[in-house]
Structure 1
Amino acid sequence: KMMLADNGQQLKENLVTFDDWMKGDIKASCVFGQLPKFQDGDLVLYQSNAMLRHLGRKHAAYGKNDSEASLIDMMNDGVEDLRLKYIKLIYQEYETGKEAFIKDLPNHLKPFEAVLAKNKSGFLVGDQISFADYNLFDLLLNLKVLCPTCLDSVPALKSFVDKIAA
């Protein structure tokens, strides 16, 4: 949504109610039996990261060359690794795992901190925003809800969030 908004594009959302989903028709129409679904003209996509990569290519947020695109893929995969840990915590281990997750969070944030500090552009790769930056920003906003002080020890990430939010 943020990438579309930054590119002056509007997103037409069709929200699916629980009751409509449970009827089964919508689920049956989805390639993998799950949402979200994204349509861009005749192209229909069902996986979140496929959507991100498509929008990255379409809106010049996928690097300036193949090397940058590969690094963006790598960084996005790192974001997704941390997102999976976060999702597991939220949906399966919240009460028993929250303290340990928060304690270990700086270790998970250090690679992103190091990449941002080294790049000096304020972005993960190159000198322009990429879909991986949008994905990291989204995840960091969620992590800040879980732990408002989680960026206190990672100044480059804190600056990154402030820059993207502006």
Structure 2
Amino acid sequence: MSGYVITYFPLRGRAEVIRMLLADQGASWTEEEVQTADWFGGESDLKQQAVFGQLPQFKDGDFVLYQSNSILRYLGRKYGISGGSNQESALIDMVNDGVEDLRVKYIRFVFFEFETGKEKYESELAKHLSAFERILSQNCNGTKYVVGDKVMTTKVKYKRFCKNSPIGIVRRGWQSGPGLPTSCKATVY
């Protein structure tokens, strides 16, 4: 077996940032779709094999990995976009965890508080985005990335979050923020 294979449901979800990272690196991959009805109905044998009973599953030849953030870190190290030192890697992990916190708030908002929680979500989001601005401003006065001068794993994940959020403040922050560069190739794949 060779090549990359992403196994996931027929939607963006947690596999999207993996796709974006691979596209940004010029890599090719194949997709294996699992229908949600089969997965949740117990008709997928893969669910019993899946570590933690979750997707996405990522294959690199014979190596199989689960958990989207673990897959991101693996690919980041493989492509040299996870920092050049322990400190840089730690900063990238910190920002990645911050984006994960945003994702959890977004999911809670969309599925449980959409009608009543927009103002609260926008307020919390603005604070969270300003934290990213502070972190980014520490590298070349915010003109580059979290670390270094090239796209890192955390940038791709952050872009994916901002690109897919329906709240205007995220899009405005992404498009106009001085420390939030927009030069990521992974927009079409």
Q: Same fold (TM over 0.5)?
A: yes
Structure with higher helix content: 1
For 1:164, the equivalent position in structure 2 comes to 184
Counterpart CA distance in 2 for 1:43 and 1:92 is: 37
1:92 is matched by which residue type in structure 2?
F
TM-score with structure 1 setting the length:
0.87
Question: How many corresponding residue pairs?
Answer: 162
Give aligned-pair identity as a percent: 41
For 1:141, the equivalent position in structure 2 comes to 163
Deviations 1:61-101 (A, max 9, x none): 11111211111111111111111111111222222222320
User: 5+ residue gaps in structure 1?
Assistant: none
1:31 corresponds to 2:57: no
For 1:88, the equivalent position in structure 2 comes to 108
The alpha-carbon deviation at position 9 of structure 1 amounts to 0.8
SS at match of 1:58: helix
1:114 is matched by which residue type in structure 2?
R
Moved more, 62-71 or 118-127: 118-127
User: 5+ residue gaps in structure 2?
Assistant: 1-18
Counterpart CA distance in 1 for 2:177 and 2:154 is: 19
Aligned match for 2:73, one of 53, 66, 69: 53
Counterpart CA distance in 2 for 1:66 and 1:99 is: 38
Contact 1:20 1:26 in 2 (8 A): no
Counterpart CA distance in 1 for 2:52 and 2:151 is: 30
RMSD over aligned CA atoms reads: 1.9
TM-score with structure 2 setting the length:
0.77
Structure with higher strand content: 2
The alpha-carbon deviation at position 151 of structure 1 amounts to 4.8
Counterpart CA distance in 2 for 1:28 and 1:119 is: 44
The alpha-carbon deviation at position 28 of structure 1 amounts to 1.2
Aligned match for 2:137, one of 106, 110, 117: 117
